[in-house]
Structure 1
């Protein structure tokens, strides 16, 4: 009987000619198909993310470790899957939230949202000009910081007429800082003794992408998660007026504006969880199942995001976009934290 695993030739010629790299990119026979060791490692880590022992921050760390060592063997697939998985996860989280509490959280966060979005765009313009960066890159990084990270950049980019290089630099900058925020914010929140509502509001304003906002808030507590998700999604709706303003300022006629329709799914799920249990007793059990699946989906989303941040992506951004991103991030995080602690 032939062995199940049979050593063969590399699937692709690896760039770094090291024995370590070649080992993970050699193809092997598995049954009737062929896989690489790297693909097997990816699969094992993905399965680990389905278990309750891997939290969203750990999943991100596993993805980053994979990307920085052997690389992501399914880069194209994870890039296509990540946005849909995040949208499903956000909608699923709505089944665990109460509409009345969400309205209250949104009302409390709206003034901070308006002030921080406007202030970030203005500050980004002047800092970007000082750094000598192109207008499109500056606007994309500023929008990603101000609204909702990669989603805002993906929506504003076509309206702006951004080139592929502009998009890559902006997304790379925001994703790297976004990953750092997921690890940094919970310890800071605990050190400052922030309440769960305070931390949730701070996350929603100061962390770029919805995935890391939800991941950081979930690590802090259920109430923080509820506040953070609601405020962040309300903030994401600002993509529409900002996109319209972008088309006018940059004189892009006939530009197509992408509307984040999945937010409607989140609202529908939240209304279902608030009102359906009074009429359908099984609704609460269904909601619990959906929330559980959503949290698993979020963990997988962060693993895929981490797996996409290869060393090449990090280096390709350059220093100046990171400087812009860090300045905006620090100012937004510090100013919003001060407002939450002293003006709330």
Structure 2
């Protein structure tokens, strides 16, 4: 058998996305100056959207999904990288415009790579992945406001998902009292083990959004968007801040100016796709230092490449909690 294994997305004549587990050859690889042997990837919500075609994530056909990659350099025309180097790749259009990580082999630009911290295995790095990068960048943004755990509690929406679970874990690790919000009550005990002081359902965020509601939290990390984020903004304490990093409930935001002009609340967005390389390196170094390996392992499921198609469909339907790592090569 020649070539290498990969998950491939294609469009049929009616524009419907079809997925298959098959094989590609080196001639299918895209332009780049570094070739990688992929060791692990992950299943992200964006991969689920690409798999189901619910949003136009994929902008090049055929496509290999997988926006997160842990790999070993096999050949390089970039002086910064040598065969044997262990690297991480997240963002930069991988899995959207450039063939992604659900493949045994990739060819990419050396500009997109950062070194994998030696204290993180490929599976651990992918258990963090884009989700960990997003949360760490969000926590850094919160720190720039001078906010600290002594100022009041934090809230995480969509807490059972990958980004939300990591947010609960990392906020708790930093000393925050964390309220985890989830529509999956069966995940409550798992969220408490990750560090949540309180687990509540979505009921508090139902109904019409008030311009201002009872002040409950100092900081928020929202993975849901839409009316949930609008409710959260109305409940933040004066001078509080919310990080927006997801749209699981929709792209709209039916809020008012009241939280911003009457309580001085701040809303900050995090884009993890185009984070500068130096910044990525600093974030990965910090994650390697602070992450609780036992808690990370407890929230992570490891699957094989053929199982990734079903996992992507399930994550798009809200059927996956925590993080799912796709083990591809030697881990």
So what's the TM-score if we normalise by structure 1? 0.25
Higher relative contact order (CA 8 A, sep 6+): 1
Which protein is bigger by CA-based radius of gyration?
1
Larger fraction in helix: 1
Larger fraction in strand: 2
